[in-house]
A and B are shown apart, each in its own frame.
Chain A
Amino acid sequence: AQSVAQPEDQVNVAEGNPLTVKCTYSVSGNPYLFWYVQYPNRGLQFLLKYITGDNLVKGSYGFEAEFNKSQTSFHLKKPSALVSDSALYFCAVRDRGNYGQNFVFGPGTRLSVLP
């Protein structure tokens, strides 16, 4: 069965500092991996995905994520945080070998960027 863990409920970072939001996953085959962001009372917005190829993927709003197969991780990063990055972040996984399998989301990490 697929699963996603986001070990931190909350991440606090000062504006201008680098940020990392952690994600680890478990799938039976090779994964498709995604990051989404949610602002209050809004739907989820897609940030980036790993499908294949370069382990470092770049996405919207200056975010990037690094796929690490040996550690089964897909941590979200940004070199310089903005106050406007404060939101709820979700990691999701889909097993590429299982066509009928659905997305599995992590529990979310609340990012607070302090001015």
Chain B
Amino acid sequence: DGGITQSPKYLFRKEGQNVTLSCEQNLNHDAMYWYRQDPGQGLRLIYYSQIVNDFQKGDIAEGYSVSREKKESFPLTVTSAQKNPTAFYLCASSHQGSGASSYEQYFGPGTRLTVT
């Protein structure tokens, strides 16, 4: 999990509340990503950012929002509009340049969000 931190590890919220998940990296990576993982499922891309102050929607962006004010930080807000927010959320980062060491993603430890 080195270099990327996500907090908290477990998060509990009541339905109708917005909640923000933290993701910080010290790898000097340009790109950052948020994925959602449901039990027994693969990863689905929520949002990604290739550079500070810019981000794009992924496959399942509805009900989520992000910001990228600093290179190191990419917080994800799960809004009350997200119909099924209970899931495991993973943050990742990667270089965007060229070179053989540039392309793999590095993942944080994840945040398990439970909304009741």
Q: Interface of A with B (CB < 8 Å)?
A: 32, 34, 36, 41-46, 49, 51-52, 90, 92, 94, 99-100, 102-103, 105-108
**Can you list 26 residue pairs at the A/B interface with Cβ under 8 Å?**
A34-B104, A36-B107, A41-B88, A41-B112, A42-B1, A42-B110, A43-B1, A43-B4, A43-B108, A43-B109, A43-B110, A44-B90, A44-B105, A45-B107, A46-B104, A46-B105, A51-B100, A51-B103, A90-B42, A92-B105, A100-B50, A102-B48, A102-B58, A103-B33, A103-B94, A107-B41
Q: Are A103 and B105 in contact (CB under 8 A)?
A: yes
Q: Are A46 and B106 in contact (CB under 8 A)?
A: yes
Q: Are B43 and A102 in contact (CB under 8 A)?
A: no
B52 interface residue per 8 A CB criterion: no
Residues of B in contact, count (CB < 8 Å): 26
Q: Are B103 and A43 in contact (CB under 8 A)?
A: no
A106 to chain B, nearest CB (A): 6
B45 interface residue per 8 A CB criterion: yes
Best-surrounded residue of B88, B90, B104, B110 (most CB of chain A within 10 A): B104
